[in-house]
Homo-oligomer: A and B are copies of this chain.
Amino acid sequence: MIHRYKGETHYLVAVDCIIFGFDGETLKILLIQRGFEPERGKWSLMGGFVKPEESLDEAANRILKKLTGLEGVYLEQLHAFGDPHRDPVERTISIAYFALIDIHKYQKQISEEYHAEWFPLNHIPELIFDHMEMVKLARRQLRYKASLHPILFELLPPKFTIPQLQNLYEGIYDTTFDKRNFSRKVLSTGLLIKQPDKDKSNSKKGAFYYKLDRKKYRANFQAFLRFVPNPDKLIH
């Protein structure tokens, strides 16, 4: 280090994670009960301060792993929040990230020390600081992005059925789609590989499992895939 910039103020920099999961019924986020002051006992997003030798992405991955035990999951920077008084203790700039995980891979025991719990998106408790704002923005971004790109597969297990997928979309947009049109659209992308076996947990007939073709998924991610009719009206 040659020298330092003189006279400028330094701040704490944190990362907060909005972690989405889907249990087959509703879309949920993972919250923790703060174990330290201020606001001990209140609900909050999982977060942490950025360490001297890690990048922001690394910090987000570290924090996500600490709470869920998961690595290599979908994680995207959402927005930087920097209101001077957002944290009453001391000015902290927070970079919010949102993660999409397969809720079944989530290891409950790891997170018990944090008193973590899943909350349905329409029953979020009061949150500390500006975390509710972060959650709202993340939800908007998820709707927006999912209307254009096939990211919701990240919330499903490796094998899933088309009715499950449709349930997920319907849950996120709080609406219903025509199942014939939905399955035609989804299958026409060629992103899904049909499996020989069926999921019989929801019907006597059973629904075929599909797996995501990861190769085509990566190749076509940027392409606009519109599984969602009239997204304009739904993303707010």
Contact = CB atoms under 8 A, between A and B. Distances in A.
A2 B89 contact: yes
A118 interface: no
- Looking at A8, A49, A80, which has the most chain B CB atoms within 10 Å of its CB? A80
Contact-residue size bin, chain A (C-beta under 8 Å from the other chain): 35 or more
Contact of A95 (B3, B9, B82): B82
A90 B5 contact: yes
A91 to B, nearest CB: 7
Interface in A168-196: none
A236 interface: yes
B3 A54 contact: no
Given A4-B90, A223-B232, A95 B80 contact: yes
Given A5-B12, A10-B10, A224-B231, 7 more contacts: A1-B88, A2-B37, A8-B49, A9-B51, A50-B93, A54-B84, A59-B82
Interface of A: 1-5, 8-13, 37-38, 49-56, 59, 77, 79-84, 88-93, 95, 148, 222-224, 231-232, 235-236
12 contacts: A1-B90, A3-B89, A4-B89, A5-B12, A9-B49, A11-B12, A11-B13, A53-B84, A55-B83, A55-B84, A93-B93, A148-B148
